[in-house]
Amino acid sequence: MRLSINRFLVVTALILSSLVGVRAQEHHQEGEPGVPQLGGETAAKGKFNVGEMIMHHIKDDYGWEFAHGVTVHLPVILYSADRGLEMFSSSHLAHGEVHDGYKNVHGKIHRVNEAGVVDEEAKFFNFSITKNVASLFLSAAIMLLVFTAVSRGYAKNKGRAPSGIQSLLEPIILFVRDEVAKPSIGPRYEKFLPYLLTLFFFILINNLLGLLPGSANLTGNITVTLVLAVITFIIVTLSGNKNYWMHIFKPPGVPVALLPIMVPVEIVGVFMKPLSLMIRLFANITAGHIIILSLLGLIFMANNLGGMMTSLSISPVVLAFTLFLNLIEILVAFLQAFIFTLLTAMYIGSAVEEHHHEADHGIGHEGAGAH
Amino acid sequence: MDLLTPDLGLLFWQVIVFLGLFLILRAFAWKPITDSLHERENNIQSALDLAEKTRLEMTALKADNEKLLVQARADRDIILRGAKEASDKMIADSRGKAEAEGKRILEQARESMNNERQALIAQMKKEVVTLSLDIAEKVLRKELSDKSSQEKLVSDLVANSHLN
């Protein structure tokens, strides 16, 4: 009993400390370097800060740190109207150095003037191959290799039973086709199947890659989920038929007096659907990473608090929990890929549906409610 | 690169890579894969349909065979019965004919025997008459040496003549 209370206290402290870490960083960015901060400054003194560690892991970076001290410096690509395209290794920006008038200030590249002061006026675009972009390339390469191999398998085993990687992935492809695309979209599913398959495997592979130690947190990045959600939004909007638009601007069976309320609600719903897709995937994956990193951080926190022996003694418990959560994260990796794809299919289905029966009425709304 | 603010560089690469991935996979992976799956499903379906059709045909064929067999049995029975009737009739006919023939032959034989007998009797009567006349002549020749004996003879003859 005492143990569990203690654990609860430790976990609470941990969550609070991560918030402190974020706060500390924010403060720092606002330009108050003189005030000693709990998170940022203690880390500088060599003390372990779990919030900083977690943020470092789940956020993007200019180098890919596989393990402590083992970093691959990735290229920084910048474009500005006055200086054109510039490309150099991120190693030049490590440890706050200034390179060609650029400086990495808390994970963001700024232009600095001769005096070394950040020039906020300078406008430039940052197309750097960051850790996430590199991971994106890696996952794209994996997908290309895997699925061209699967495709070759179909050519090779024509009229015969599937073999190898083909038989491993065929059930998943069939699952996406028969359980996601067909029931949600209806007879016109084939047009949308390539997108759904790409989406499903892209999210799945990146979720799973993200679980590997030292890997990037791609699907837990709001930019990536934003792009996926916007593509879904564009597809739904472009394939929306008369029924779909009529359902938004003149919902059948709704009294005229209610239209001023219903139409804005429906319009908000149109944008809320991709927004919910974006936030759901981002939040689920990021939360999973934060929980696992927090658990592992417990060991180092124990080192801070009670020295080596304390951290050694809690390690087995922490490792057991981490292992358990990693298994759950594998489940979540599949689940979130499935949910994103299913909801996309449902939104497309509601946009291309031909006849509105009362029974089918709620599918889109149900989907939107299934957070 | 804060947690909740989209980053332009990553957005750019994500759009490029994801759309590129989508287009490449659609052309080189999803289309061949879904086409092959479709084709295989159609093959399996048509094979199943064919099997079902064959099964039905087999059943029909079996029913036909059964019917044919029953028909053949019935035909055989009819033919056998007909043959038996025919043979019975033939036997009966030939027996009747044989009987009639036998009767006819018997009748003929009897008739010819009668005729023979009549002829024999007539012959014998003639023979007897001739013989009697010869005897009578001889006796007469011998006996008619004297008158009395002649007369006696005649009367005897006469007396005996209706013995036959």
Give contacts of A 38-97 with B, CB under 8 A.
55, 58-61, 77
Same domain, yes or no, for A162 and A111?
no
Residue B1 lies in a domain: no
Same domain, yes or no, for A213 and A355?
yes
User: Are B18 and A228 in contact (CB < 8 Å)?
Assistant: yes
Dihedral sign, CA of B94, B95, B98, B104?
negative
Dihedral sign, CA of A208, A213, A215, A216?
positive
Q: Does B18 touch chain A (CB under 8 A)?
A: yes
Number of structural domains chain B divides into:
1
Q: Is the ipTM value over 0.85, yes or no?
A: no
- Judge contact between A232 and A285, C-beta under 8 A: no
pLDDT (mean) for B49-54: 96
Q: Does B20 touch chain A (CB under 8 A)?
A: yes
Same domain, yes or no, for A125 and A138?
no
> Which comes out higher in pLDDT, residue A60 or A318?
A318
Residue B4 lies in a domain: no
Query: Residue B29: which of A132, A151, A158 has the nearest Cβ?
Result: A151
Structure-token pair, residue A121: 């006026």
Same domain, yes or no, for A124 and A211?
no
Query: Residue B29: which of A61, A148, A174 has the nearest Cβ?
Result: A148
Q: Does A140 touch chain B (CB under 8 A)?
A: yes
Per mean pLDDT, which range of A21-35, A68-82, A93-107, B73-87 is the poorest?
A21-35
pLDDT (mean) for B61-71: 95
Query: Residue A221: which of B10, B30, B34 has the nearest Cβ?
Result: B10
∠ CA A198-A184-A243, nearest 5°, is 110
Per mean pLDDT, which range of A10-19, A61-70, A218-227, B127-136 is the poorest?
A10-19
If DSSP codes are grouped into helix, strand and coil, which group holds residue A362?
coil
Q: Which residues of B touch A173 (CB under 8 A)?
A: 33-34, 37
Structure-token pair, residue B18: 């994801």
> Which comes out higher in pLDDT, residue A125 or B136?
A125
Residue B2 lies in a domain: no
The pLDDT of residue A151 is 92
By CB atoms closer than 10 A (0-12, 13-18, 19+), residue A133 is buried
DSSP-H helix ranges across chain A: 2-29, 38-44, 50-58, 131-156, 165-175, 182-185, 193-211, 222-239, 242-249, 259-352, 363-369
The pLDDT of residue A238 is 93
Q: Which of A46-60, A70-84, A97-111, A132-146 has the highest average model confidence (pLDDT)?
A: A132-146
Which tens digits make up the pLDDT trace of A272-329? 999 999 999 999 999 999 999 999 999 988 888 888 888 899 999 999 999 999 999 9
Structure-token pair, residue A158: 């024509």
Sorting pLDDT into bands at 50, 70 and 90, what band is A98? confident
Q: Which residues of B touch A136 (CB under 8 A)?
A: 10, 13-14, 17
Report the C-alpha gap between A291 and A223 in whole angstroms. Answer: 21
Residue A65 lies in a domain: no
The pLDDT of residue B123 is 87
Residue A64 lies in a domain: no
Q: Which residues of A touch B20 (CB under 8 A)?
A: 140
Sorting pLDDT into bands at 50, 70 and 90, what band is B104? very high
Q: Does A125 touch chain B (CB under 8 A)?
A: yes
The pLDDT of residue B132 is 82
Of A14, A40, A59, the residue at which a domain comes to its end is A59
Dihedral sign, CA of A31, A34, A35, A37?
positive
Residue A94 lies in a domain: yes
The pLDDT of residue A4 is 52
Q: pTM score, two decimals?
A: 0.72
Of A25, A59, A93, the residue at which a domain comes to its end is A59
pLDDT at A135 over 70: yes
Query: Residue A147: which of B11, B14, B29 has the nearest Cβ?
Result: B29
Residue A204 lies in a domain: yes
Place of tokens 């300078």: A122
Same domain, yes or no, for A25 and A74?
no
Give contacts of A 271-290 with B, CB under 8 A.
286
The pLDDT of residue A67 is 81
Place of tokens 């036997």: B91
Q: Which residues of A touch B24 (CB under 8 A)?
A: 144
Residue B3 lies in a domain: no
Report the C-alpha gap between A354 and A144 in whole angstroms. Answer: 35
∠ CA A151-A154-A158, nearest 5°, is 160
Report the C-alpha gap between A61 and A221 in whole angstroms. Answer: 12
Of A83, A109, A129, the residue at which a domain comes to its end is A129
The pLDDT of residue B163 is 59
Report the C-alpha gap between A92 and A104 in whole angstroms. Answer: 10
C-alpha atoms less than 13 angstroms from C-alpha of B142 in its C-beta half-sphere: 6
Query: Residue B14: which of A125, A158, A223 has the nearest Cβ?
Result: A223
DSSP state of A181: I
Structure-token pair, residue A255: 């009294």
Residue A346 lies in a domain: yes
Number of structural domains chain A divides into:
3
Which tens digits make up the pLDDT trace of A1-54? 444 555 554 445 444 444 433 333 443 433 333 333 344 434 444 577 888 888
Same domain, yes or no, for A170 and A84?
no
Mean pLDDT of chain A: 82
Please give, one letter per residue, the 3-state secondary structure of chain B: CCCCCCCHHHHHHHHHHHHHHHHHHHHHHHHHHHHHHHHHHHHHHHHHHHHHHHHHHHHHHHHHHHHHHHHHHHHHHHHHHHHHHHHHHHHHHHHHHHHHHHHHHHHHHHHHHHHHHHHHHHHHHHHHHHHHHHHHHHHHHHHCCCHHHHHHHHHHHHHHHCCC
Range of the domain at B110: 9-161
Same domain, yes or no, for A214 and A272?
yes
Residue A157 lies in a domain: yes
Q: In chain A, whose CA is at the least distance from the CA of B26?
A: A194
Mean pLDDT of chain B: 89
Residue B17 lies in a domain: yes
The pLDDT of residue A231 is 96
- Buried b / exposed e over A134-158, threshold 16 CB at 10 Å, is bbbebbbeebbebbeebbebbeebe
Same domain, yes or no, for A338 and A234?
yes
Same domain, yes or no, for A152 and A298?
yes
Residue A97 lies in a domain: yes
> Which comes out higher in pLDDT, residue A348 or A256?
A348
Q: Does A294 touch chain B (CB under 8 A)?
A: no
Same domain, yes or no, for A152 and A244?
yes
Sorting pLDDT into bands at 50, 70 and 90, what band is B144? low
Q: Does A104 touch chain B (CB under 8 A)?
A: no
Q: Which residues of B touch A226 (CB under 8 A)?
A: 6, 11
Range of the domain at A293: 133-369
User: Are A177 and B36 in contact (CB < 8 Å)?
Assistant: no
Sorting pLDDT into bands at 50, 70 and 90, what band is B4? confident
Test mutation, B16, B19, B21, chain A, max A CBs within 10 A = B21
